[in-house]
Amino acid sequence: MSEPCIPMSTMDTLPQGIPPEHVISRSGVLASRHHPTPGEARDALAQWALRCNYNAVVGVRFIATAERLLPGEETTEVKWAAYGTAIGW
């Protein structure tokens, strides 16, 4: 069985294939941080948007950050964050 999906776009416009008659009635900024891969950060955005009954996510941005593993040590680990705007109609 396939998992539910939600249209996502890195552009600040509706993803292609969305019917033009949809009128955005609500929106919310969302963020998901501290993920080991960009794909997991993206999936977390999608899950949040679906759980809150949004229809798409636009303006998605990915950011890699270096996080220290232990205070006082120089060793870092790359973590990923994703940000976007959830929209509903």
Pairwise CA distance, residues 29 & 84, whole Å: 6
pLDDT digits (tens, 9 = 90+) for 23-40: 889 999 999 999 999 999
The pLDDT-based confidence of 8 (bands split at 50, 70, 90) is confident
* pLDDT class of 84 with cuts at 50, 70, 90: very high
Residue 49: CB atoms within 10 A of its CB come to: 23
- The pLDDT of residue 2: 52
For the chain, the domains span: 26-88
Q: How far apart are CA 43 and CA 82, in angstroms?
A: 9
pTM above the 0.95 mark? no
Length of the chain: 89
The more confidently predicted of residues 18 and 65 is 65
Q: What does residue 22 show for φ and ψ, rounded to 5 degrees?
A: -70, 130
